[in-house]
């Protein structure tokens, strides 16, 4: 029964996708006498946590009940009071936890408060599912840097565009809808200035139901070549646009971009380009916990070389383009030997009508 109720808590947690960043996705279920009497989830950043919403939803007195919560109840004062204290005050008898809080500053303290007050605590129920759901939070809370997902779409022969540069559309509508769900999930979307110059994208979130939140638009542009009339600088959106440049960018252009409402981040030059590792630190300082990298082949290669990519979402469409000059998802100099290749592990394969999505994680020396 623990698994059944924790699964329900995980389902509730998913309802917060796109609205809680940089906070985690958390769901809570209160069970008494074999019945669910209250449910809640963390709905929006700065709002009540899942446990508090579950208490508010309760249809009867929760004293003596069991609470299932996907993440260890918080033990500190932030934008809201500690949930662990509220659980004690409400008289909950038992707490089943999916994942212990990974924040090194608070990990285990919520559990200690519960146990010190005589509450039985069980941890690790559907822990892997909880880790998967909160992979963004796990990376950000422990490193203060964004979780980066590199998304590519290519044909069976590994091309992202024809030799003329035409790329609309490699994948089908269902795959593209999923990408917009990814945009809704993350805090920022990153492209290179080459993509802006070629496609002039809006980089907004367009879900079928008309809902969804725009993420912050981040343009990697060493020399500030982005046109002032570019759509990303002239759209009606609550999300801002950040342009990352180097010291080579002209001051007049920087000031013009600022007048358009763009935020400018100046990074050191690395191989005459924006230092992506430095940029990720600066984005993390701005509470940007996740990035969807939709750059071209050059930016993709630079990101992999800089070690900032955590996850790969590679769509493959059943089409063949051919052409020696047709671009592939990852350009750059490339690796000289097979044994130097970047390895992807924890592979998952999904189907979107005729398209295939290969999802995996960049293998690094230190895994979270």
Q: Is 198 helix (H, G, I), strand (E, B) or coil?
A: helix
Buried b (16+ CB within 10 A) or exposed e, 321-353: beeeebbbbbeeeeeeeeeeeeebeeeeeeebe
Tally the C-alpha atoms within 13 A of residue 184's C-alpha that lie toward its C-beta. Answer: 21
Q: b/e per residue, 50-82, with b = 16+ CB within 10 A?
A: bbbbbbebbeeebeebbbbbbbbbbbeeeeeeb
- Residue 208 annotated as catalytic: no
Give alpha helix (H) positions in the chain: 2-14, 50-57, 83-90, 109-116, 127-133, 135-143, 173-185, 193-199, 251-259, 276-285, 297-306
Catalytic entry in 11, 39, 51, 247: 51
What residues are labeled active site? Answer: 51
């Amino acid at each position: 029964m623990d698994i059944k109720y924790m699964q329900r808590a995980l389902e509730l947690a998913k309802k917060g996708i796109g609205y809680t960043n940089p906070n985690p996705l958390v769901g809570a279920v209160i069970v008494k006498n074999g019945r669910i009497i209250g449910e809640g989830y963390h709905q929006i950043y700065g709002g009540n946590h899942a446990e508090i919403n579950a208490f508010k939803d309760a249809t009867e007195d929760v004293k003596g009940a069991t609470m299932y919560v996907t993440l260890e109840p918080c033990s500190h004062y932030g934008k809201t009071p500690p949930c662990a204290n509220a659980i004690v005050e409400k008289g909950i008898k038992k707490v089943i936890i999916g994942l212990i809080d990974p924040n090194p500053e608070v990990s285990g303290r919520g559990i200690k408060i519960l146990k010190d007050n005589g509450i039985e605590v069980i941890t690790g129920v559907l822990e892997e599912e909880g880790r998967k759901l909160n992979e963004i939070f796990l990376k950000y809370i422990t490193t203060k840097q964004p979780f980066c997902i590199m998304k590519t779409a290519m044909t069976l022969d590994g091309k992202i565009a024809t030799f003329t540069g035409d790329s609309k559309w490699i994948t089908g509508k269902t795959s593209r809808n999923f990408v917009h769900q990814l945009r809704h999930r993350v805090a920022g979307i990153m492209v290179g200035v080459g993509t802006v110059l070629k496609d002039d994208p809006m980089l907004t979130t367009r879900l079928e139901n008309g809902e969804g939140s725009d993420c912050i638009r981040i343009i990697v542009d060493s020399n500030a070549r982005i046109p002032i009339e570019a759509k990303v600088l002239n759209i009606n959106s609550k999300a801002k646009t950040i342009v990352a440049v180097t010291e080579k960018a002209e001051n007049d252009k920087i000031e013009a971009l600022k007048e358009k409402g763009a935020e400018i981040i100046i990074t050191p030059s690395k191989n005459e380009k924006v230092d992506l590792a430095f940029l990720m630190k600066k984005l993390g300082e701005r509470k940007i916990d996740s990035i969807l990298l939709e750059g071209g082949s050059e930016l993709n290669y630079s990101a992999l070389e800089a070690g900032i990519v955590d996850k790969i979402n590679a769509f493959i469409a059943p089409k063949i383009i051919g052409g020696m000059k047709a671009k592939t998802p990852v350009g750059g100099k490339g690796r000289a030997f097979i044994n130097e290749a970047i390895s992807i592990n924890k592979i998952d394969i999904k189907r979107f009508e005729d398209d295939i999505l290969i999802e995996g994680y960049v293998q690094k020396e230190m895994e979270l």
